Structure 1
Amino acid sequence: MQQFKRILIISMNPLSDIYNNGKTLTSFFEGYPRTHIAQLFFSSEQPQMRICNNFYRISDSDMIKSRISKEFQCGRKVLEENEHSAVQNVTNGKQIRKNNLTRLAREIVWNDNWDTKELKEWLDDFQPEIIFMVVGDVVFEYKIGLKLVERYKSKMALYITDDYIMPRRTLSVFWWIRRSYILNYLRKAVKRADIFFTISELMRQEYKRVLKRDSYVAVNMSPSLAEEPTNKNIEDHEISFVYAGGLHLNRYKVLHELACTLKEINMKTEKKCKLLIYSAQKITDRVKKQITIENVSDFMGGVECEQLKHILNRSTILVHVESFDKKNIYDTKLSLSTKIPEYLSVGKPILAIGPAEISSMQYLSDVASCVTNLDQMYSNIYELISNPKLLNNYGLLAREKYLKNHVAEHNREEMWKILGDLT
């Protein structure tokens, strides 16, 4: 019989149906008893309370105000959901952490002021049996998590979704100081953890080499977004390419290259290709101009989840891109995009453009048309859109991979069993 232990999730971002880590966490714990989940998080975002309603937030603003005035209560329970505030505050939060020096200063601000009477009462009331830590590039999160694990004698699960410790080609002294600081606490956390999860097979291999400990691979899960049979014949006279996701990390530059290639195909052949770009991110006029070409590509902005589901199903080809810039290759190499399981579930052919060494590209290599060299983009795409059987085959392969690796119910039960067996 399944044991449901009380799990305290500690992470930067709250549970969400929209944003990356929050969306991943939601996919893990949807259906878990609501009374057995609580979350302590460290941003100004508003959580979505669909699967849990027990949240405690401590933000950068709280920490700064608590240092200015001892009367200020640092952190508080979140009592209601406000979707508009969540969107607004994600943007503001990203503006705070621009450079490595600012991030080091941020660590100084996060002293023990977070450990308030109100937080202790909230935690005492919940009595966590397992602390599930999603760690990133802030050391105070490690410190808080490790302290609470010892205080409540909880079991500890550690989950890493993005890499901040592998060496980069950078001359920034502050980056290397931060990297050493983070790596030191990551080693402590890995040593203390009762169970260790990473997000991709490539990350598992690299971290096993560096940290001398193996991990379970826990990929993002997604409900199926398919609305109709995925093995229908695809006509090749009107071809819609749909990209849905972030434009940061210079992904917009790759979308610009794709739009230019589609324009060339439209001019030289009888094909009619159109690229539609959906993203909730605010972009500058300069970026919008780069990714928009008349009669070829349009920036559509953000849409609600249900509307996006219909858009993905009406598309001909789904597009995934990663930047070819060296810095961004380092940043994304070991991660697996949260968008990939959703794409796979639709059962549409996927066009993936990016460096071959990136985990997301490796993961899609056997089920998608992959462009790993921009000089070959025209020939790869023209071959793809000229062969309806190839398009249909890629759609079927995508769906098969989704059913094998990303069906939420099966993977959730497996993770819950691993956590429930911790003694």
Structure 2
Amino acid sequence: MKKYPNILILNNQSIYNCNATGITLRNILSGWPAENLCELHMDRKAGENDKRNNIHSEYILDVVPVYYLIRKIHNLLNKTKKNHSTVNDVQGAKNVTSQGNMREVINRLIDVSPVCGTIHWEKYLKGFNPDVIYTCGASVSVMKIALKLSRKYNIPIVLHFMDDWAHYLQNESIIGSKWYKGCLQKYLKKCYVKSVSNFAISPYMAEDYEKETGISHIALMNAVDFEKFYNLSQNSGDSIIFTYTGGLHLERWKALKDVETALTKLKQNGYNVKLKIYTGSQEMIPEDYFDNLITEVHEQVPHSEVNKILKEANVLVHVEVQNPILMGFFKYSISTKIPEYMAANRPMLLYAPQNMKLLEYLCENEIAFTAYEKKQLYDTIEEIITDSGKTTRVREKAVQFVQDNYEVKYVREVFYETICKVTQM
């Protein structure tokens, strides 16, 4: 019978947040006994979800007093004023960007504010005795708290890097970025002293981080319930449906417009094609941006129902945009949806910058169709439609690849073995 160490999960957001990081963490941790898990977070929206999933979870923002006070003020202001900003014109986009930059400056200042000198841990842990701290880091406050816990209980820290925040900020053009990045790196070095093994979101990231630090980094990505996502039959409707699911942040709506343009040309050449976008961020799309004769924009569906959307598709689409501000931060990132796409038994199309590790990863393993420029995008889509032999080979290879590398049992076993090794249990 397996013996499970007690894991203390510590992050800015709860593992039950509905975003991609929350999904990835839930999929990895769902196989761990609830009584061996305890979560400390700063996510004000997470309470009810935590209770439903029977994991002891505590909101600990009050141990960062300045952060806690600002959040309280922000919540009070939101009750009297709701922001309905949409990106409908260039000036509106500039205003939204300026407001976002100012918020980010404030958030960074708050993040480096002092943590309480004395913390009564029993108030939050309620008898839970942790063997290890598991955190995504990416926050000075979170790493300060992790270090306090590590010293208090004499336990190791395991970091899970989802993006390359150790070297780049998501936006380095904002005033004070160099100083804030230095603060992050200072506390990351302190966490590494308490670390013997960590996780990274991709093999390339794990390899590079291990070379840099001399500390073990293991590739651990989103775990997929293969049987849930796998669809044996192919969609045989009148239209060839290209489907994108997920957020439109990081200017992905611009890349999806390029996909639509390529599909429009193919439609003019006699192919009955459609683009379907399922997203919870429709407000990011400029007014009348997409052609409704080609593109349908739908509301995002709950993650538990994404497999149904994938089943209706012929081709699954993922996009990223060439943005020098964002490029470093997301260099190694692998979207949560990528293994889900592969498991769905549908050909995948990635349209992304050539220097992204994700594009290199998919090309190297021959598990997706890829393009990094507009002319190539048209040719690639046409190849997916016309070369059924290659499309079948790529699709079948992706299915096998996800079973070997992302299947939930495999990912959870890698996680279990690493945690047991770290805790010497």
Q: 1:205 aligns with which of 187, 204, 207?
A: 207
Unaligned 5+ runs, structure 2: 73-81, 86-96
Tell me by how many angstroms 1:384 deviates.
Answer: 1.5
Deviations 1:298-338 (A, max 9, x none): 21021123432111011000001111122222221111111
- Paired with 1:236 and 1:380, the residues of 2 have a C-alpha distance of 21
Alignment of 1:162-311 (within 5 A): 162-166=163-167, 172-224=174-226, 225-229=228-232, 238-267=239-268, 269-284=269-284, 286=286, 289-290=288-289, 292-311=290-309
Equivalent position of 2:142 in the other structure: 141
Q: Are positions 1:111 and 2:112 aligned together? A: no
Structure 1 contact 8–38 (Cα < 8 Å) conserved: yes
Alignment of 1:6-17 (within 5 A): 6-16=6-16
Query: RMSD of aligned C-alpha atoms?
Result: 2.9
- Paired with 1:66 and 1:248, the residues of 2 have a C-alpha distance of 27
Equivalent position of 1:339 in the other structure: 337
Tell me by how many angstroms 1:187 deviates.
Answer: 1.4
Structure 1 contact 157–195 (Cα < 8 Å) conserved: yes
Tell me by how many angstroms 1:60 deviates.
Answer: 8.0
User: Cα–Cα, structure 1 residues 110 and 278, in superposed 2: closer, same or farther, change >3 Å?
Assistant: farther
- Paired with 1:210 and 1:46, the residues of 2 have a C-alpha distance of 35
Question: Please, which moves more after superposition, 240-249 or 181-190?
Answer: 181-190
Q: Which amino acid aligns with 1:266?
A: K
Unaligned 5+ runs, structure 1: 73-87
- Paired with 1:200 and 1:20, the residues of 2 have a C-alpha distance of 15
Equivalent position of 1:4 in the other structure: 4
Q: 1:102 aligns with which of 102, 106, 109?
A: 106
Structure 1 contact 157–196 (Cα < 8 Å) conserved: yes
Identity over aligned pairs, percent: 22
Taking structure 2 as the reference length, what is the TM-score of the superposition?
0.84
Equivalent position of 1:75 in the other structure: none
Alignment of 1:151-166 (within 5 A): 151-166=152-167
Question: Please, which moves more after superposition, 238-247 or 104-113?
Answer: 104-113
User: Cα–Cα, structure 1 residues 106 and 62, in superposed 2: closer, same or farther, change >3 Å?
Assistant: closer
Higher relative contact order (CA 8 A, sep 6+): 2
Tell me by how many angstroms 1:282 deviates.
Answer: 4.8
Q: 2:124 aligns with which of 122, 125, 140?
A: 122
- Paired with 1:334 and 1:369, the residues of 2 have a C-alpha distance of 19
Number of corresponding residues = 394
SS at match of 1:332: coil
Structure 1 contact 236–386 (Cα < 8 Å) conserved: no
User: Cα–Cα, structure 1 residues 228 and 111, in superposed 2: closer, same or farther, change >3 Å?
Assistant: closer
Tell me by how many angstroms 1:19 deviates.
Answer: 1.4
User: Cα–Cα, structure 1 residues 313 and 205, in superposed 2: closer, same or farther, change >3 Å?
Assistant: same
Q: Which amino acid aligns with 1:36?
A: N
User: Cα–Cα, structure 1 residues 223 and 276, in superposed 2: closer, same or farther, change >3 Å?
Assistant: same
- Paired with 2:46 and 2:101, the residues of 1 have a C-alpha distance of 19
